[in-house]
Amino acid sequence: MYKTASSLIEKCQRLRERGFTLGEIVKTTELPKTTIYGYIRNIPLSLKTKQKVTLATTKRINEFNIKYRKGKCIPGRVVLKPKNWNDDLIFLVAHFMFDGEINTHSCIYNNRNESLINRVKFSMEKVFNLRPITWLNKHTGVHRISYHYVELADYIKRRSQELKTYIKTASLKEKGIFLKAFFDDEGSVHFEKRLVRGYQHNLDILRLVRKLLLDFSIENKIDEKYNEIVIGRKENIVKFRDEINFSKRIYINPERKNSIWKKKLEKREILERVINSYQK
pLDDT digits (tens, 9 = 90+) for 60-89: 666 655 554 444 454 446 788 999 999 999
Nearest to 181 by CA among 132, 120, 130: 120
Task: Please indicate, yes or no, whether residues 62 and 146 belong to a single structural domain of this protein.
Answer: no
Does residue 170 have a pLDDT over 70? yes
Q: Domain for residue 42, yes or no?
A: yes
Non-local CB neighbours of 165 within 8 Å, separated by 6+ positions: none
pLDDT reported for residue 58: 67
* Range(s) of the domain holding residue 158: 87-166
pLDDT digits (tens, 9 = 90+) for 194-237: 999 999 999 999 999 999 999 999 999 999 999 999 999 999 99
> Domain boundary residue among 166, 196, 218?
166
CATH number at residue 95: 3.10.28.10
Q: Domain for residue 82, yes or no?
A: no
Look at the chain and report how many structural domains it folds into. Answer: 3
The model carries a pTM of: 0.72
Task: Please indicate, yes or no, whether residues 158 and 178 belong to a single structural domain of this protein.
Answer: no
pLDDT top residue among 114 and 253: 114
**How far apart are the C-alpha atoms of 229 and 209, rounded to whole Å?**
8
pLDDT digits (tens, 9 = 90+) for 108-158: 999 999 999 999 999 999 999 999 999 999 888 899 999 999 999 999 999
Task: Please indicate, yes or no, whether residues 162 and 181 belong to a single structural domain of this protein.
Answer: no
pLDDT reported for residue 71: 46
> Domain boundary residue among 133, 166, 199?
166
With bands split at pLDDT 50, 70 and 90, how would you rate the model's confidence at 2?
very low
Strand 187-190 vs strand 221-223: parallel, antiparallel, or unpaired?
unpaired
pLDDT top residue among 248 and 21: 248
> Domain boundary residue among 147, 166, 185?
166
Task: Please indicate, yes or no, whether residues 114 and 208 belong to a single structural domain of this protein.
Answer: no
